[in-house]
Amino acid sequence: MTKRSPATSFTGRHVIITGGSSGIGLATALLLASRGADVSLIARTASRLDGASASIRAAHPAVTVRTVSVDVADKDAVQRAIAELTASAPCDVLITAAGLAHPGHFVDLPDDLFRETMDVDYFGTLWPIRAVVPSMIERGTGSIVGVSSAAALVGIFGYTAYAPAKFAVRGLLEALRGELKPHGVHVGCVYPPDVDTPQLAYENQYKPAETRAISGSIKPLTADAVAATIVEGIERRRFAIIPDAQTKLLARTIGLVPGVFTAVFDRSVRRAQRH
């Protein structure tokens, strides 16, 4: 088996993106299409996929855009979708950006939400990866990037359903990185903070006051900024892909001084509860 050297250009590369109909997934698809990549989008809502593909084609008519409407938590459906998308061209880059976050107080969240969040965030990351890895190993090339969260670095009040799923994504990618590196396959994990997307707008409807207090007045990043960091991370074959300075600081220090962060969070919670 001959291994190809890491790609320095996305021209003609086939990129599959889950959660590609909006937010970080769509922003990354648009950026990669501008770099000459052919993009395949997977998402649940067909109408949003149609709009996303139309926007990419309008901006970059020379690239190929494919879409498949599927629930990423459905293993068999994901396998069929990726088999369809790779029938004419193998997957060079997989980006798993589909996700679900519904914050709330632990005692108020319904039992089903914990299962659904794990199904979408963790298994919705696992099944696409399982579908593309054998071909990448055989070809000795490829890049797999999963979108986790800053909430995978430290547990945050209000995210008892979301944080465990994103911690699981982080654990999967950390273990997979070492296993696939000898085969020439890059694995990356993205740790975005709040990002100005439809998902954040949904979350904000349900965030407890304590969660808002911990977030403070930090301005959410744009999806375009996160997309640019993802593309750079693929080019440089980074594992930890972190788009902002505060999350970088958190990643570097949480293991060294965890008590400092928990003390700050606890103080924010007490202040919110007093008010």
Q: Is the dihedral of CA 188, 197, 225, 67 positive or negative?
A: positive
Q: For residue 181, count other CB atoms closer than 10 A to its CB.
A: 13
Structure token pair of residue 34: 């501008």
Q: Which of 148, 159, 191, 207 is catalytic?
A: 148
CB neighbourhood size of 218 (10 A): 11
Taking CA atoms, 227 is separated from 17, 136, 224, in Å, by 12, 23, 5
Supply 54's token pair: 């139309």
Instruction: Quickly tell me which residue has 């199904």 as its tokens.
Output: 119
Concerning whether 162 is annotated as a catalytic residue, the answer is yes
Cα-flanking dihedrals φ and ψ of residue 146, to 5°? Answer: -105, 135
**DSSP letter string over 142-181?**
-EEEEE--GGGTS--TT-TTHHHHHHHHHHHHHHHHHHHG
The answer to whether residue 148 is catalytic is yes
Burial class (CB in 10 A: 0-12, 13-18, 19+), 192: buried
Other Cβ atoms within 10 Å of 220 Cβ, number: 16
**Residue numbers annotated as active site:** 148, 162, 166
